[in-house]
Amino acid sequence: MQRKSIRHLLIALAIFFTTFVISAFLAAYDPSAAWLAAIKMGGVICAFALGLRCSLTDEQAKKLFEALLYVGGVWAGASILMFILDPDGIYGFEKFGAGRLTGAFSSPNSAGTLFGAMSVMALGRLISRVRSRRESQILERIDPAMAGVWIVSLAALMLTVSRGAIFSTLIGSAVLCVMLLRNYLPLPKLAAGVAAIVIVLTLVFAAPLISVIGRLGGIDNDAAVRATILKSHFTFAMQHPWFGAGPGSFNTINNHIVTAADYSALAVIRAAHNVYLQWFEETGGVGLLSLAILNLAILWPMISGARHRHQMSGRIWAILAGYLVFLLHGFTDYAFQEPALAMFMALLMGCGFAMAGNRSTTHPPHSMV
């Protein structure tokens, strides 16, 4: 509570909680679903708090961050193994997205969000280590374990054949490289280095990239389906513009609004494939604003810490870039709505939020130096 950033976060959380309660229990279109959504949201908040509590010194934060990356890397490897053993199913059951890696999640696109974010964060650790050990030989600066996490996460991402996840990962990686290397490499050298890496990765992952290119042929049909979903649900959302129809009410709403004209697009979905539209539909404009305030209360101190905390800036930028992958892919998919993925990212964000404010806890008093 001595940290100003935590006090601001608690104020934002109180605003968010108030609007969530109003939407869930005063404007609920589906009360039972609202209770379930509240439990899930509570779990995400607890995960963030746990990440923060376990990272109140730099040493604790480093251990938690790297442990989470290693756990994610192990899961990426396990997902690849499951895919090799059964590309059309999972745990012996036929899955949605047959022939594409799902990582035990409900869709290949959600798995792509996770593994894309993982690859971006692992890349951040690799760059930070290379950047901070300039007195050593280049091979000595590379962390082989983290390089393994990066490669296996990239491989899992490619096997999802998720266009949106790969695009979001490219943007997240580019932003991360610029933020970490802008003061160390001139722009032409940075651009040349990034281009060389892209060429090498294109050759290594040529086979899955061919599948991605093949899926681009169906992008017009997919866009038409998504447009139908967005139009139908936005029209309904505008009937409840302030506090929405209640958290978790999407399925009830979808069953209510489906018509013969849009049946083929709406009947098979359980999410809007745009987390921002769905949040607006379920919690209204007030809920969307409170979510933006809560994100700002978390992201602003992290960005400030990344700019000024030189010892920890690489890790903070890496977490921010990983979160950017989730934010960008949220426009076309629903990984944020997978509880396991939301809690994993919340743990990382809590860790990064703590890193950004650890100035007063990482340096001993002068009398102890």
* DSSP-assigned states of every residue in 43-86: HHHHHHHHHHHTTSSHHHHHHHHHHHHHHHHHHHHHHHHHHHH-
Tell me which of 4-8, 60-64, 186-190, 329-333 is least confident: 186-190
The pLDDT of 57-80, averaged and rounded, is 95
The pLDDT of 62-90, averaged and rounded, is 91
**pLDDT of 197 higher than 80:** no
Other C-beta atoms closer than 10 Å to the C-beta of 168 total 27
Taking the C-alpha atoms of 232, 233, 234 and 240 in order, what is their torsion angle to the nearest 10 degrees? 130
Cβ contact 316:20 at 8 Å: no
Confidence of residue 48 (pLDDT cuts 50, 70, 90): very high
User: Of residues 89 and 307, which shows the higher confidence score?
Assistant: 307
Look at residues 269, 256, 208 and name the one whose alpha carbon lies nearest to residue 30. Answer: 256
pLDDT of amino acid 290: 95
Model-wide pTM > 0.75: yes
What angle separates helix 31-53 from helix 4-25, to the nearest 10 degrees?
170
Of the ranges 251-255, 259-263, 323-327, the best mean pLDDT one: 323-327
**pLDDT of 242 higher than 70:** yes
pLDDT of amino acid 365: 40
Tokens of 169: 């990962």
Tokens of 329: 């892919």
The pLDDT of 231-247, averaged and rounded, is 90
Look at the block and give the residue holding tokens 């040493």: 59
Look at the block and give the residue holding tokens 């930028």: 317
